[in-house]
């Protein structure tokens, strides 16, 4: 079993990834931690509780960061044009959900859960990396106690999606992302190199909903405006960014990867750019030296990934 903490900012594609984690028979979802990003942390936490209730997810939800790792970094507007004003495609979501959050802040929940399960927990982070950076700052030893870190973020050999060089999750808190890339844990970066070519069509999702009943219909409903947004890039479909990171946990063989030290640009016109110094490449001494080697995904078997997402969500995958 893969013990997973899911760090998320729901978010439309976050919702699909959550249902995948919940329904995969080989994943033990230990907790959901929320972060600001696709909406305020108040909204993303409410959305996580809403999905927990609708999908009968037993694990706790811990509220996380509401500002960047460097609190002096100015806040940008929420991407309402992408995820809707309520973060879930503007479907009807109650203002409040009558479920409690875990009493601990997300970073403390991460620390405590990792320490209670040494060597067993995979952190899957699909929003800004703020909670992970705070956990590492408060307890640096957890870097040696996690099984691994899989993030949805970044881009190496393809353009960004919020600037010519930067992807949204990294661009939203570059200092946090750089901090976790430099730490002595194994980070797998599942970024736009693979997620931007992995698109689920409206018809594919509709067929899933037809086969999956009300729970999958909810997923389809909240995804419709997200699919509308993607018309500029995808023909009647959506990029399933966050689910790709979750698939990596259980099926890494569906990805091509390279390894090397990774840094994140903090400030200037390339703010949020992820840059890898691939292992074996020689350069004069520089800012990538003596750092841990991380993993960057550069290729993906997209159709197999989509089919696995569908089969897991529809309960067709047996342990």
DSSP summary character for residue 140: G
pTM score, two decimals?
0.98
What digits encode the pLDDT tens for the residues 134-143? 999 999 999 9
Average pLDDT on 87-106 reads 96
Catalytic one of 9, 178, 193, 242:
9
Asked whether 226 and 238 are in contact (CB, 8 A), the reply is: yes
Residue 50: count other Cβ atoms within 10 Å of its Cβ.
23
Handedness of CA 167, 220, 199, 250 (dihedral sign): positive
Tokens of 189: 């970066």
Asked whether 130 and 65 are in contact (CB, 8 A), the reply is: yes
What digits encode the pLDDT tens for the residues 197-232? 999 999 999 999 999 999 999 999 999 999 999 998
Helices (H), the chain: 12-23, 41-54, 80-83, 106-116, 130-138, 168-172, 174-181, 192-195, 202-212, 214-229, 241-250, 302-313
Residue 133 above 80 pLDDT? yes
C-alpha–C-alpha distance, residues 285 and 293, integer Å: 16
Per residue, what are the HEC states of 254-294?
Answer: HEEEEEEEEEECCCCCCCCEEEEEECCCCCCCCCCCCCCCE
What digits encode the pLDDT tens for the residues 147-162? 999 999 999 999 999 9
pLDDT at 319: 75
Residue 81: count other Cβ atoms within 10 Å of its Cβ.
10
13 an active-site residue?
no
Do strands 121-125 and 2-8 pair parallel, antiparallel, or not at all (unpaired)? parallel
Tokens of 8: 């998320």
Catalytic one of 14, 83, 241, 242:
241
Residue 182 above 80 pLDDT? yes
Residue 251, CB half-sphere, CA atoms under 13 Å: how many?
19
85 an active-site residue?
no
Residue 77 above 90 pLDDT? no
C-alpha–C-alpha distance, residues 314 and 25, integer Å: 12
* Cα–Cα distances in angstroms (integers) from residue 93 to residues 49, 97, 101, 144, in the given order: 11, 9, 17, 40
C-alpha–C-alpha distance, residues 207 and 205, integer Å: 5
What digits encode the pLDDT tens for the residues 106-118? 999 999 999 999 9
Q: In the chain, how many H helices and how many E strands?
A: 12, 11
Tokens of 29: 């979802």
pLDDT at 16: 98
Which are the contacts of 291, defined by CB distance < 8 A and separation ≥ 6?
181, 182, 261, 262, 263
Residue 158, CB half-sphere, CA atoms under 13 Å: how many?
18
Which residue matches tokens 């993030």?
151
Beta bridge partners, 62, equal 33
């Amino acid at each position: 079993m893969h013990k997973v903490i899911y760090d998320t900012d729901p978010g439309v594609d976050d919702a699909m990834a959550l249902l995948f984690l919940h329904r995969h028979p080989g994943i033990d979802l230990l907790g959901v931690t929320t972060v600001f990003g696709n909406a305020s942390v108040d909204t993303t936490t409410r959305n996580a509780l809403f999905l927990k209730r609708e999908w009968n997810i037993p694990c706790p939800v811990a509220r996380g960061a509401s500002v960047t790792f460097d609190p002096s970094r100015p806040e940008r507007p929420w991407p309402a044009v992408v995820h809707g004003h309520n973060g879930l495609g503007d479907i009807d979501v109650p203002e409040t959900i009558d479920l409690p959050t875990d009493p601990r802040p997300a970073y403390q929940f991460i620390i405590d859960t990792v320490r209670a399960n040494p060597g067993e927990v995979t952190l899957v982070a699909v929003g800004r990396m703020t909670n992970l950076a705070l956990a590492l700052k408060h307890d640096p030893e957890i870097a040696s106690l996690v099984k691994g870190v899989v993030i949805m973020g970044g881009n190496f050999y393809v353009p960004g999606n919020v600037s010519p060089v930067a992807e949204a999750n990294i661009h939203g808190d570059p200092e946090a992302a750089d901090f976790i890339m430099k730490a002595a844990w194994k980070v797998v970066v599942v970024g736009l190199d693979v997620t931007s070519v992995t698109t689920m069509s409206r018809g594919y999702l509709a067929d899933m909903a037809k086969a999956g009943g009300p729970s999958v219909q909810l997923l389809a409903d909240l995804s419709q405006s997200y699919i509308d947004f993607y018309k500029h890039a995808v023909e009647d479909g959506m990029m399933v960014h966050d689910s790709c990171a979750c698939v990596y946990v259980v099926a890494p063989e569906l990805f091509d990867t390279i390894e090397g030290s990774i840094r994140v640009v903090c400030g200037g016109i390339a703010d949020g750019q992820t840059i890898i110094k691939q292992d074996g490449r020689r350069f004069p001494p520089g800012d990538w030296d003596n750092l841990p080697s991380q993993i960057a995904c550069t290729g993906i078997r997209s159709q197999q990934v989509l089919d696995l997402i569908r089969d897991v969500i529809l309960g067709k995958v047996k342990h």
